Amino acid sequence: MNRRLRITVAIVAGFVLLALALWGVDTTELRRNMGKANVGWLAAAAVLYLTAYFVRSLRWRAILHPIVPLRVSESFHMLMAGYFLNYIVPIRAGEVAKSFFLKRLKGIPIATSLPTVFVDKLFELVSILFVVAMVPILSIRMSATLATLIYTVLAIFVLAMGLLFFAFRNPDGASRLLCAVFSWLPGRVYKRLSEFIGLFVQGMGIARREARTLWSFLALTGVAVLIDGLYFYFMFRAFSVDVAFTRVLFGYTLLTLSYILPTPPAQIGYNEFVIGLIFAGGIAAAGVARHEVMAVIIVAHAMTGLLIAGVGMWSFGAMGIRVRESFRTVAGADAPGGRTVAGADAPDGRATSRRSELE
């Protein structure tokens, strides 16, 4: 499936999810609730939302430090520009983009810095342990769909941590094992995937060198998750919806973890559907109507979309890099073996140029 068709399918899927999320919701009450938002609470929520990203940029900066020291502003701009690319297209190009920015601005080869992005994402998944632990504590009623979502993310986390430990102890053995697992793939796909496997194992070298600072990475993750929860709690307060902070923290943490799964561009419909699913599973306090929850998530989605777009474009301007240039360079790097990797769809001259950017 080519990139344009994938994006089209993703957009259609997003609107289907949005329709499912709003199915049976009283639209009159929904509009009434959306119109009564408290601007002060919304402003505070917006500040917290960006603060959580700032904390994550500090974590990535710390992980990256053995390779290249960055100013705090530099790591923040790279992170936000990468998130902006991830937000507008469903191909996860933003993860590779952060390494592309380092290549352009610092001369660091992408093969050297990309493992830090993988390691950073592994720390992000740690919060699934909090989600699982809170299920019995909060006496959450889990539907089959909600349980499937939680256990899928948990399985991905367990697999990732297992690979992390194995690669930490035996890098060569981990490379051979992973390559053997995917040896059945077509040659070109396997070749590209094996390159990503090599980058992953290299990233474990970063973890070994920084073993003494792992607790600081975990602490930054915890702070970011807590701020995320406060942001979404403030969104509920903006609409005078009474839900306990611990339940809001649980629900929003699960939402952010679910982003590891494919999402439509700008997460159209996805946020509304998953939040509806989470709260329908028993997260919200008794007496909270579905139209109240939908009002919160729709306004939150619109507000955060504007924040990501605005700060993302500002970050591109601060770095002196064009959005289109970044997207064209890294857009194909999400799909091992894909035709667009490193500009393979371009004429020979442009393909060579883009390929050199990724080396």
Amino acid at 183: S
Provide the pLDDT for residue 340: 38
Residue 347 scores a pLDDT above 70: no
* Average pLDDT of span 271-291: 72
> How far is 319 from 102, CA to CA, in rounded Å?
10
> Which residues are CB-contacts of 81 (< 8 A; sequence separation ≥ 6)?
94, 97, 98, 101, 312, 315, 316, 319, 321, 326
pLDDT (tens digit per residue) in 149-174: 888 888 888 887 777 777 777 777 87
> How far is 311 from 84, CA to CA, in rounded Å?
8
Contact 82, 94 (CB under 8 A): yes
Provide the pLDDT for residue 281: 54
Residue 210 scores a pLDDT above 90: no
- The length of the chain in residues reads 359
CA-wise closest residue to 81 among 70, 72, 93? 93
Residue 339 scores a pLDDT above 50: no
Range in 2-6, 59-63, 251-255 with the lowest mean pLDDT: 2-6
Backbone angles phi, psi at 308, to 5 degrees: -65, -45
Query: 94 vs 17, which has greater pLDDT?
Result: 17
Contact 10, 89 (CB under 8 A): no
Provide the pLDDT for residue 320: 93
| Helix ranges (DSSP H) in the chain | 3-22, 27-34, 39-64, 72-88, 93-106, 110-124, 128-137, 144-169, 171-181, 187-209, 214-238, 245-257, 270-278, 290-319, 323-330, 348-357
Confidence grade of residue 286 (pLDDT, cut at 50, 70, 90):
very low
Provide the pLDDT for residue 344: 34
Average pLDDT of the chain to the nearest whole number: 80
Range in 9-18, 38-47, 176-185, 303-312 with the lowest mean pLDDT: 176-185
* Average pLDDT of span 2-7: 70
Contact 308, 83 (CB under 8 A): yes
Residue 207 scores a pLDDT above 60: no
Q: What is the dihedral of CA 230, 39, 314, 342, to 10 degrees?
A: 60
Confidence grade of residue 346 (pLDDT, cut at 50, 70, 90):
very low
What is the percentage of the chain residues whose pLDDT exceeds 90? 26
Which sign does the torsion angle of CA 288, 266, 196, 56 carry?
A: negative
Range in 43-47, 344-348, 351-355 with the lowest mean pLDDT: 344-348
Total number of domains constituting the chain: 1
Confidence grade of residue 216 (pLDDT, cut at 50, 70, 90):
confident
Instruction: Give me the domain span that covers residue 240.
Output: 3-357
Which sign does the torsion angle of CA 357, 53, 65, 169 carry?
A: negative
* Average pLDDT of span 24-46: 90
Residue 350 scores a pLDDT above 60: no
pLDDT (tens digit per residue) in 217-268: 889 999 999 999 999 999 999 998 888 898 889 889 888 888 877 788 888 8
> How far is 349 from 351, CA to CA, in rounded Å?
5
Tokens encoding 283: 């997260």
CA-wise closest residue to 55 among 181, 176, 228? 228
> Which residues are CB-contacts of 117 (< 8 A; sequence separation ≥ 6)?
60, 95, 96, 98, 99
DSSP one-letter string for 204-232: HHHHHHTGGGHHHHHHHHHHHHHHHHHHH
